Amino acid sequence: MSSIATEEKIPNNVDLSSDKRLQRALEEWQPKFREWWMTMGPEGFQADDVFLRTAISVDSDGWAHYDYVKMPDYRWGIFLADQVPNRTIGFGDSFGKPVWQQVPGEFRNVLRRLIVTQGDTEPASVEQQRLLGQTCPSLYDLRNLFQVNVEEGRHLWAMVYLLQSYFGRDGREEAEGLLERRSGTPDKPRILGAFNEPCEHWLSFFMFTYFTDRDGKFQLLALAESGFDPLSRTTRFMLTEEAHHMFVGEAGIGRIIEKSVELMKQEPNGDVRKLMGIDLPTMQKYINFWFTVSLDLFGGEISSNAANFFASGLKGRAKEEKWPDHIALDAVKTIAVPKDGKLVNEDVPLRNAMNEVLREEYADDSQRGIDKWNRTIANAGVDFRFKLPSTRFHRATGIYAGLHFTPDGQMIAEDEWNRRKNEWLPSAEDSAYVKSLMTRPIFERGKMAHWIAAPKAGIKGNPVDFEYVKHHA
């Protein structure tokens, strides 16, 4: 087990003090990160005491510490999972060779791009969520929002550590760039589409943490397989934190559903909006939106980049060891390719279809929450079921981009799409309605906004009405 330095300026288990050059570079970046956090982090809560978990080691029994902390004083640290002795590359052309502890020269640019692209999503989501505290449905939810935010900040640190320690001057420049881009701005947008979408209310926040953080899970699983060992070790530990983010989304949506089905019973026509709740069809539209913008994050269905990442041992499949063939040179994957207004099945060389392989696993994993939410609806005796849309629906990257499909995956013409898209995706009115429910924050201990049920349990053994955030107005 690696030794942990928690008292240093930058908490770490990478023996930072033995590398003075790197330590200096990171200590120079630290105040810039703080400045970014103060301007782009949660607005209006930086002086509050928040009951947060802080990573202090990578030990599976006791990796985190829980206490009140003011967010600007959060101890963002650098933690890598322990090195696996004699680890070898698990896939691609270098299968079976020892993993790299340094960046192989020929893969330097590609690897830097992979790390920057992952790193860019972390501060982006904090920016997208920076105003949500002002309309929080409870102190419990407010704390969960901030927990997600500070950990995305730590994930940025994780990627910046790799850039600063392994990529020299280019890495330092990229580390600056990660603090300079801004989610949703036209001149300096974040790199990936979903991370520039506005996240304007808590329904979107829960959908984002369920669907978009889950993209993060699968990207991290694929990078955890990397032959570049420091990247593998970093991402393995990030996955530990990521699990909570997806829980926040899954449980949050579940609690809205619980409340909505309860309200449906109180209203003779089941019209939840009359009782200021969130109706299930509107939730379905937000599922359609956030699921599909997250699908785009996996990249094109047929991709020479994906083939190169796999061939070179940089990015594998999630849990690569479960696949029978780690070379993937002879296999194909059948993909429905649009040709002359029709879908035609084509056999694509498997390496070129690796994005699609990961996307399918993501879709299967996303289905689990849908099933769980549907059980809640069924148990309430309500005749409505959520459904994930087709992976062709509402796509902006890959072979389906620029074409139009129904949520069932049927190709349709543009005029039908324009006529019907508000049946399937949140309209301006839907968004205005949801926002109208969330106009003020709830700061009373244990109280919940009227559109969401209370959670079953509090955090770390504390009751639901615990003062998770001591808000100083």
Parallel, antiparallel or unpaired: strands 332-339 and 342-349: antiparallel
By CB under 5 A, residue 213 contacts Fe ion? yes
By CB under 5 A, residue 197 contacts Fe ion? no
Q: How far apart are CA 326 and CA 357, in angstroms?
A: 13
- Torsion angle of C-alpha atoms 110, 112, 117, 120, degrees rounded to 10: -170
Sole window of 40-48, 213-221, 276-284, 375-383 interacting with Fe ion (rule: CB under 5 A): 213-221
| Spatial contact of 100 and 229, defined as CB atoms under 8 Å apart | yes
> Looking only at residues 409 through 468 of this chain, which bind Fe ion when binding is defined by CB under 5 A?
none
Sole window of 47-55, 157-165, 190-198, 235-243 interacting with Fe ion (rule: CB under 5 A): 235-243
Q: How far is the CB of 413 from Fe ion (least distance, A)?
A: 38
Q: How far is the CB of 242 from Fe ion (least distance, A)?
A: 5
| Spatial contact of 329 and 351, defined as CB atoms under 8 Å apart | yes
Q: How far apart are CA 99 and CA 170, in angstroms?
A: 23
Q: How far is the CB of 77 from Fe ion (least distance, A)?
A: 15
- Distance, CA of 309 to chain centre: 21
Q: How far is the CB of 159 from Fe ion (least distance, A)?
A: 9
Binding mask 102-141 for Fe ion (x = CB under 5 A): --------------------x-------------------
| Short-list 175, 252, 255, 162, CA closest to 210 | 252
By CB under 5 A, residue 215 contacts Fe ion? no
By CB under 5 A, residue 154 contacts Fe ion? no
By CB under 5 A, residue 53 contacts Fe ion? no
Residue closer to Fe ion (CB basis): 237 or 451: 237
By CB under 5 A, residue 250 contacts Fe ion? no
By CB under 5 A, residue 190 contacts Fe ion? no
Sole window of 65-73, 152-160, 259-267, 369-377 interacting with Fe ion (rule: CB under 5 A): 152-160
- Close Cβ partners of 92 (under 8 Å, ≥ 6 residues apart): 227, 310, 311, 312, 313, 316, 326, 327, 328
Q: How far is the CB of 148 from Fe ion (least distance, A)?
A: 6
Q: How far is the CB of 129 from Fe ion (least distance, A)?
A: 11
| Spatial contact of 300 and 355, defined as CB atoms under 8 Å apart | yes
Q: Which two tokens stand for residue 165?
A: 């320690």
Q: How far is the CB of 112 from Fe ion (least distance, A)?
A: 19
By CB under 5 A, residue 214 contacts Fe ion? no
- Per DSSP, 46 falls in state T
By CB under 5 A, residue 245 contacts Fe ion? yes
| Spatial contact of 434 and 278, defined as CB atoms under 8 Å apart | yes
Q: Which two tokens stand for residue 206?
A: 């829960």
By CB under 5 A, residue 155 contacts Fe ion? yes
Sole window of 18-26, 91-99, 238-246, 384-392 interacting with Fe ion (rule: CB under 5 A): 238-246
Residue closer to Fe ion (CB basis): 154 or 395: 154
| Site residue total, Fe ion (CB under 5 A) | 7
Q: How far apart are CA 293 and CA 159, in angstroms?
A: 23
Q: How far is the CB of 124 from Fe ion (least distance, A)?
A: 10
Q: How far is the CB of 452 from Fe ion (least distance, A)?
A: 21
Q: How far apart are CA 33 and CA 397, in angstroms?
A: 31
Cα angle 78, 79, 83 (rounded to 5 degrees) comes to: 135
| Spatial contact of 285 and 424, defined as CB atoms under 8 Å apart | yes
Binding site for Fe ion (CB under 5 A): 122, 152, 155, 213, 216, 242, 245
